[in-house]
Structure 1
Amino acid sequence: MTERTRNNFPYEIRDLDPEINAQISKNFSDGLPRLVQVGPQKMLIPAQFRQDAENYYNFPLRASDVFVVGYPRSGTTLTQDLVWLLLNSLDFDKAKLKSFIARVPLLESRSVTTERTIALVSTSSERAASLKSYTSTLETLSRMTERRIVKSHLHFTFLPPDLLTAGCKVIYIARNPKDVVVSLYHLQRNSFGRPFTGPFETYFDYFISNLTFFTPYWDHLHEAWKRRNEANFRFFFYEEVTQNLRDFITEVARFLDKELTGEEVQKLESTLSFDQYKKYISETDKHMNSKEDVNDDFVRKGKIGDYKNYFTKEMNERADRWIEENLKRTGIVFPFDF
């Protein structure tokens, strides 16, 4: 474990305007908690973040840690499963013994998991135990003896400042924001803890107005993009991953210093191709794919261009202007046209 001085969290945390908070809350069943904006980019997250921001920022790193980072619904779940399988000798049977939220804890889970969500899960089931662990992720990670894989949706600024110099490896994955917002909408609409009840058009407006969790989307990507050439950092686009899964598997394996036989690459490719991966997730994480529990279809479609089934002409034009403006501002280069 890397020894380092504990730092104060150096960024301002401000309450979201109460009127805006109330207006957004009306579109969620049972409302939303109080929200805050963090740092100069004003990352949006529940106010619980205030209690844990310093703990996330000072998270005790181990040189062997692997972080999987990305804006929500960008391919982090598939990526974390690939990393876990690579670090566990492709032990598919072992993967079935624990939920992926236990195998790969979300660093900031305590800040985004509601007590209501936990209460809605049968307290006698493994589902409840897995979800309750979401409120003690920092403790869970500290107790792990195996090589740790840590997932996070936080902006890079709010992660430990020595993450890339402490020996840790970081994999970041980005996705077309048009498809991200559609996937987020379905995730929130089917969430048991606080389902979104408004129309897609309203959710789209919140997303591009930086009023959904972990926005601004572009600042999230930009912080990672600036680090893409660091030795211990890899930046991937979801669209390239799904179109050439074999190359993604071999590149991540090489990054993690794992040698694979041709047969092993083929087995991973078969498992992680989307239709098969959906089946794999349904077997290993039934509790994340049943509306009886937390979420209906946690892994939904993974389809490139699904936004075309949801965007009106006006929405697409508005999104295109928003994308063009931010591509110019950030210098990010996507490997496809919008």
Structure 2
Amino acid sequence: MSGENEEQLSYSDAIKKASPSITRFPVIPVRGVPLMSYIAQNWDSIWAFRPDPSDLLIATYPKAGTTWTQEIVDLLYHNGDAEACRRAPTPVRSPFLEIFSPAPIPSGLDLLEKMDPPRVIKTHLPFQLVPPGFWENKCKAIYVARNAKDNLVSYYHFDCMNQTQPEPGPWEGYIHKFMRGELSWGSWYDHVKGYWVEREKRNILYLFYEDMKENPRREVERIMRYLDLSVSDEVLSRIVQLTSFKNMKENPMANYSFIPEPVFCQSISPFMRKGEVGDWNNHFTPEQSEMFDEDYEKQMKDIKIPFRCQI
């Protein structure tokens, strides 16, 4: 058995062992941004993280296409080799920078320590909380943004099934929490604006979830060029196929089925639920949509980011 497969087993087993102590952890503000208590309590070590210049950061607001992008990048780095990309679950191949959980689950920093650069690192931190070493070392960063309404719907279902996140409460109230930025990792509005404003100065590849759904091949090519990689047309087509929603949902190394049921209750909602653009139409009442749109205009009036709620 390879060391990576052992890593996979130990990661899953660690979560199983920690399951009895898993609870819906409260959020604690860090520089005004609500973060899960385990993250807030370990903030100094997260902020002090020093990446290698060759490391790649994949940043998103939660439920905006993070796992999808991680899989695309891993396949590009491995020339479309599907088996190589099933060597371990997503969070082992591409560690979650700021995550801390009850023992014996390894933190993102623990996993990164054991890896040789170049590493692919995931974060949900807003721009101002990203450890400064990433920008000082001129690391490349890919940011994926999803339209607010679909992002809100997806995050709501995720918070229902993820037993480590604060209790989401009813849908009607959740909309207001989202609008006020009271969810884990804070305000969607501040998040998407923060990376947008810095994208040119920091050489951030800013992608839109809707563009990825509309024309996945075009966006995979953009990622490939940004990473200074070159793969054949045949490999590009294979990567697009392997990262389709259907194939990702069936991939045990990407669909988070390795997280045991008491932690991720996929019977409540699958980790990969629909992956559609416009599903918000099935959740918002006309009154809720109108209220949300009015608030959106106020919160986004200072900046124009070309989001689409339909394709």
**TM-score, structure 1 normalization:** 0.78
Question: What is the aligned counterpart of 2:86 among 96, 101, 104?
Answer: 96
The structure-2 alpha-carbon separation of the partners of 1:144 and 1:283, relative to structure 1 and needing over 3 Å to count, comes to closer
Equivalent residue, structure 2, for 1:269: 240
User: Does 2:291 align with 1:315?
Assistant: no
Equivalent residue, structure 1, for 2:185: 214
The 8 Å contact of residues 149 and 280 in structure 2, kept in 1 or not, is answered as yes
The 8 Å contact of residues 172 and 234 in structure 1, kept in 2 or not, is answered as yes
Consecutive unaligned residues of structure 1, counting only runs of 5 or more, are: 1-29, 119-128
Equivalent residue, structure 1, for 2:38: 48
The structure-2 alpha-carbon separation of the partners of 1:288 and 1:301, relative to structure 1 and needing over 3 Å to count, comes to farther
The structure-2 alpha-carbon separation of the partners of 1:284 and 1:188, relative to structure 1 and needing over 3 Å to count, comes to closer
Mapped to 2, the partners of 1:161 and 1:195 lie a distance apart of: 28
The 8 Å contact of residues 71 and 217 in structure 1, kept in 2 or not, is answered as yes
Supply the AA of the counterpart residue of 1:336. R
Question: What is the aligned counterpart of 1:138 among 100, 109, 132?
Answer: 109
Question: What is the aligned counterpart of 1:235 among 197, 203, 206?
Answer: 206
3-state SS of the aligned residue for 1:48? helix
Aligned residues: 286
Equivalent residue, structure 2, for 1:24: none
Task: After TM superposition, give the deviation of residue 284 of structure 1 in Å.
Answer: 4.8
**CA deviation profile, 1:124-183 (whole Å, cap 9, x unmatched):** xxxxx8xx22xx221220220252000000111111224234131100010111111111
Question: What is the aligned counterpart of 1:179 among 120, 126, 150?
Answer: 150
Consecutive unaligned residues of structure 2, counting only runs of 5 or more, are: 1-21
The structure-2 alpha-carbon separation of the partners of 1:156 and 1:197, relative to structure 1 and needing over 3 Å to count, comes to closer
Mapped to 2, the partners of 1:289 and 1:142 lie a distance apart of: 22
User: Does 2:23 align with 1:38?
Assistant: no
The structure-2 alpha-carbon separation of the partners of 1:98 and 1:216, relative to structure 1 and needing over 3 Å to count, comes to same
Equivalent residue, structure 2, for 1:13: none
Mapped to 2, the partners of 1:46 and 1:337 lie a distance apart of: 29
The 8 Å contact of residues 288 and 294 in structure 1, kept in 2 or not, is answered as no
Moved more, 194-203 or 51-60: 194-203
Mapped to 2, the partners of 1:225 and 1:283 lie a distance apart of: 31
**CA deviation profile, 1:59-99 (whole Å, cap 9, x unmatched):** 11101100000100011110011111112232211222211
Mapped to 2, the partners of 1:174 and 1:162 lie a distance apart of: 23
The structure-2 alpha-carbon separation of the partners of 1:197 and 1:237, relative to structure 1 and needing over 3 Å to count, comes to closer
User: Does 2:301 align with 1:328?
Assistant: yes
3-state SS of the aligned residue for 1:277? helix
Q: Which has the higher contact order (CA 8 A, sep 6+)?
A: 2
Supply the AA of the counterpart residue of 1:244. N
Task: After TM superposition, give the deviation of residue 283 of structure 1 in Å.
Answer: 5.6
Equivalent residue, structure 2, for 1:6: none
Q: What are the residue-to-residue correspondences of 1:1-338 with 2, within 5 Å?
A: 32-39=24-31, 42-110=32-100, 113=101, 115=102, 132-133=105-106, 136-193=107-164, 196=167, 198-230=169-201, 232-280=203-251, 282=252, 284-285=254-255, 287-288=257-258, 291=261, 294-296=264-266, 297-329=270-302, 331-336=303-308
Mapped to 1, the partners of 2:92 and 2:234 lie a distance apart of: 28
Mapped to 1, the partners of 2:129 and 2:165 lie a distance apart of: 25
Supply the AA of the counterpart residue of 1:332. K
The structure-2 alpha-carbon separation of the partners of 1:197 and 1:248, relative to structure 1 and needing over 3 Å to count, comes to closer
Task: After TM superposition, give the deviation of residue 232 of structure 1 in Å.
Answer: 2.9
Supply the AA of the counterpart residue of 2:174. Y
Mapped to 1, the partners of 2:214 and 2:74 lie a distance apart of: 21
Supply the AA of the counterpart residue of 1:54. D
The 8 Å contact of residues 222 and 332 in structure 1, kept in 2 or not, is answered as no
Question: Percent of pairs identical after alignment?
Answer: 28
Task: After TM superposition, give the deviation of residue 197 of structure 1 in Å.
Answer: 6.3
Supply the AA of the counterpart residue of 1:191. N
Supply the AA of the counterpart residue of 2:301. K
> Which aligned runs of 4 or more in structure 1 are off by greater than 4 angstroms?
283-286
Supply the AA of the counterpart residue of 1:333. I
Supply the AA of the counterpart residue of 1:275. K
3-state SS of the aligned residue for 1:278? helix
Supply the AA of the counterpart residue of 2:293. D
The structure-2 alpha-carbon separation of the partners of 1:161 and 1:146, relative to structure 1 and needing over 3 Å to count, comes to closer
Mapped to 1, the partners of 2:122 and 2:248 lie a distance apart of: 19
3-state SS of the aligned residue for 1:315? helix
The 8 Å contact of residues 192 and 291 in structure 1, kept in 2 or not, is answered as no
Task: After TM superposition, give the deviation of residue 37 of structure 1 in Å.
Answer: 2.0
